[in-house]
Structure 1
């Protein structure tokens, strides 16, 4: 099939490369000529494992090319995937549909009869139907479920494909797009556009709620002398609950979960049903509070004040296997520590350049050892695999004081303590403190 992808940011670039890998002829469209030129050379504008190789292969085969011309896109094919961003609206929790409307309006004059516009952007419920009226064309919705760091796998081996359509012809066309995946057994859920639009927001809101729930319990664990990791493990053994996303620590960030829970709340209020999801405001507040709790933990570990202290920060991206620093909890903590008077040096395997662009006042290092030199405390804030593999004994020789705050609860405290480190973590008791009538086995 001949397909176009409008918008070649994170979602669009991955989607275009994967569609080409599935055997389609794909034209990627973006208003940024530098971005399209880089993509045409097989260079993605962001870090995503496996994407560079996939993109280069698709370009080299001729199945994927890029342009800045929407007129060319309109003549290229009849199925157009809309992948532009929907950031949070300034001064509001609602989604900003400026880019969606602009792209659709610019494409409209070039659409051929029978064209299908397929939205993949995360939008408020009702957007597809409003666009259909605006364009006098058929609009379907096919939400993306990409996890940064696993986006290629999530596209080529998805857990499900959801399409919101108004006609059998549109459903048939989208089944044809994804034929190789359907033949491999991927579930295909065809529904109406409003339901499809809600699936992404509902899924992300549920995941955010699960994260904030265990983080709320971590506060209780600290006050009661309980161990949140053991609590999470015991809860996760319940098949009705499951272990996924019961990960106590610094909390979530990025361009999806925070924005999506706010957008769902805002849209519910517009529909007169704000009370039904009012709990999401508390989910958001708990998540934000984890950042302050981490700063307070660092302050306690250095004796009460961060002013004048040297602080090493491990991690700048909002999650591992990504260079994305949008709403990064790690950077938020680094900035807060800096504002409390500390000298902060940040390391990240991929996100240093992006972090420096947002927070040039912080210091940065391309080597973990350099970042930790003369540190009074080390803050582990993004759970990159490289940090779990660090040798605490070797690292102890370069810091001023062997003190670490594991804000992601993934380091082995026994190993670090054996190397002479003081280890602090959110939601976990002090060593030797008794819980439930016996010493906590995990410590």
Structure 2
């Protein structure tokens, strides 16, 4: 997936650690065949790169691309609706009826065109995406994402219990359809890959989980699902899987946790579950807007970072109403402040720098060396014109980036977007 070689000149900003953002004002970020070769002051650009095409971005901010590691593509059609309901009621009233529509390929074609076009124009360069149970519609989604130049994992959802008749599969049929789908799509794309997607334990029997564990091992594919999002859900899982020491064990027992697994939410993870996630290297997708809108709660992300868990951000559309990773960062900071004030003052709120790290390096690391302007990292970059946020004060690039974290959804216009050194069409 080699990209071009060039130099971006602008105000280069990236996370040098979880808590620090480095900025080189008027600096040069070098892309060499799709990977970053480093960042230099303009006057110090090494001679070996002096002959590369120079793209002068003026006073714009140049930041790493962002990764959305939990988003539901079929739910994009009803984003902003049903935000007065909690998770299980919301699923039955809005989500399941909408996802059943994707058995109609005509509908899937129209709906996924809108989702993919908006994702392409957003700050997201890489995404971990839920589809539906329907294999043909999931292939439509994969084809459309591949054409954008973005990098994504896409999942055909598995559901064999506690689901409406229009969506429930038999265990055997679900496993067989998943195998056929994987046979067909693995190796077919350059930038789009499959990911196993048991919706969540309440809608997947132990028998199907066992089959999916075998499929994961057979095809060597990653996994995505939901974990400990809502109190009613957690209680339900305890009733469905009384043998499991915690909700997370209902996945781990079948070999579905690990460093190539993303579990969304983890709002109510017990001490045992947190240790299980840490030990297995499982990723937590923090979805602050969704957790707030569906009244689920506030995940203890400070604890997860302090204890060394792998954490990134998710928009969780349509539990979250926006694809904007700027919004996800701002919401992560705000939610952590409420948790600190109202729940546990031992866990300090997130800083904007930490939220920026989550959106770039934290989630990007699920895709490999992604999310930094450092040597060897894939060159994902956003050129951000923040002039619409101008005021009477002159701000340093670092201050402008902080402002974008909170106001980017209203005034951070992307003028260029690169994924692994390839320019993405924003038209």
Q: With structure 1 as the length reference, what TM-score do the two structures score?
A: 0.25
Please tell me whether Structure 1 or Structure 2 has the larger radius of gyration of its CA atoms: 1
The structure whose residues are more often strand, as a share, is 2
